[in-house]
A and B are shown apart, each in its own frame.
Chain A
Amino acid sequence: MDLAVKIGKIKLKNPIMVASGTFGYAEEFKDITDLKGIGAIITKSVTMKPKQGNKPPRLWETTAGLLNSIGLQNEGVEDFIKNKLPFLKSVGVPVIVSIAGETINEYAQLAKKLNIPAVSGLEINISCPNIKTKHRLFAQDAKAAASAVKAVKKNTKKTTITKLSPEVTDICEIARAVEKGGSDAISVINTIKGMAVDIETQKPQLGDITGGLSGPAIKPVALRIVWETTQTVRIPVIGVGGIMTADDAIEFLLCGATAVQIGTANFLNPQAVIAVAEGIEAYLKEKNLSNLKEIVGRLK
């Protein structure tokens, strides 16, 4: 059975990656996850300087969903290269480093710093809803989104995936802009901004008031965006949002996703990626197909 896919120059043995921020730097899961079974590992987003993140509490469960307001806590790119990358490299699956800048220049610098062999590609995170900015997210402005991509492309030959926000008027406009900017793929979607209130204390449930919604609750939105963008751009679209099972992943593939990412599901089942890969294989067998490509975009 052939589950292999290619995103830019990166070859994946199966189309299932772990989503940024939900799998740390992989080492945290090494005792209970068969890491070698993962198609590609996307790291927690790294920033130029260390970032302490938002005030706790940072998590709140909603009906079939999870609000998080982590705020990109990480030790910065230098520490990442020194202390996290060696283990990631040792796993032996493609390592895609998620990068988040506050300015276009920071994206450029991050790309430059990560020009090292252990890094297979970059996911350009321009869509984190948990960061306070005076202006819109880069992902909410076609020009700004394209500039971030161009800045990265100018400084790397590695495969780039641009991660988009669902919170825009016209997702296709943004997708086209980043394709034009030179992105090798897009991943959709990042979390959707939401909030929750404790009626006893009359305070927000999250320390940062708002947070990003993930999990099964956002799957229909993610699926619709995958379907819309695959109609529009030629570069591969990677589906993210509420994928818990192989059936969910297959829906994304049928809607045109070349690959998928699994986020929140890792918290419920640290072997989710493996289970989804096995489930896709079983589905292909059942349908008498031998190649993943035979279902991608085959929505009738």
Chain B
Amino acid sequence: MIHTKAEILLNQRIVPDHFKMVLRLNGFKGKIKPGQFFHIRAGSGYDPLLRRPLSLHRIGDKPNIIELLYKVVGKGTQLMSRRSKGTYLDVIGPLGNGFKIEKAQRNFIIVAGGIGAAPLLALCDELAKFRKKSITVVLGAKFASYIVCEKEFKDLGAEVLIVTEDGSEGTKGLATDVLVDVIKRFDLRATTGPLADKDTSGITIGSYHPLVGVYTCGCKDMLKEIAKICKYYKLKAQASLEERMGCGLGACLGCVVNTINGYKRVCKDGPVFDLSEIAF
């Protein structure tokens, strides 16, 4: 983890309201895991007051160059969108735990709800390195012009299924409906076999499917639905959660999410959680 001035190498609108930013983290030498985030001060004033957490979208050409993908939703992201190339942002990171990549899995299902695609591309970069695997990305968006990263996922060899709420492109409906169709393609008999598995929290949930894994990021309602679906089909699912943050360092306890093991800090114990652990 480092606290540094990061030079903006690029800050570009890619589709309406969505921006890609490339930063060089001066002095950073470590590794960044998909699912980790950066806590960024968008301006220098007191409105907005706090930093904004933004997930790693992709590692750039060098280990200290990162790409972020963000949607303009409030004052902080609006300020960020106006920053020009060559100026500097105050950045703390990388923070949080990142996705746990399960080495035994071979069939990856990625479900992205809108800007939730941001951390999932970095994850897909890692998953693409697996041999003998399949990656299916369910890319959900409000309408066609809000679809992001379709080409990037395809370039990594993933099958991309587009879903829009208004049907302006791909399937009309919700990403979760398409998820069920994707899940049904797999041989789910394995899940009812003799595989007594344990999840990370040490609680026996029964046997998970050993090969199929679900990875997601998006709004709470979507995650809740995916949790239900994955519980039903006994699929391991990890989600990157979003919560308002203060310190970003695990100190203020402002970012907690309710889990079956009590309140946990999204910034430090997450942002990636096993979906089965979240108490929606």
Interface residues of A (CB under 8 A from B): 21-25, 28-29, 31-32, 44, 52-53, 55-61, 63-66, 68, 70, 73, 215-216, 244, 264, 266-271
Contacts and interface: CB of A to CB of B under 8 A. Distances in A.
Contacts of A44: 251, 253
B47 A66 contact: no
Contacts of B10: none
A98 to B, nearest CB: 14
Contact of B263 (A59, A73, A216, A264): A73
Interface string B257-277: 110001100001000000000
B57 interface: no
Given A32-B1, A32-B92, A267-B247, A64 B46 contact: yes
B241 to A, nearest CB: 11
Q: Considering residues B3, B46, B48, B51, which has the most beta carbons from chain A within 10 angstroms of its beta carbon?
A: B46
Contacts of B48: 61
B255 A24 contact: no
Interface string B69-92: 000000000000000000000101
Given A28-B250, A52-B262, A68-B246, A63 B256 contact: no
A215 B50 CA distance: 10
Interface string B1-27: 111000000000000000000000000
B265 to A, nearest CB: 10
Interface of B: 1-3, 41, 46-51, 90, 92, 243-258, 262-263, 268
A55, A70, A267, A270, most chain B CB atoms within 10 A: A267
Nearest to A64: B46
A57 B254 CA distance: 8
Given A44-B253, A68-B254, 12 more contacts: A22-B252, A31-B2, A52-B263, A53-B256, A56-B243, A56-B256, A56-B257, A61-B48, A66-B49, A244-B46, A270-B3, A270-B249
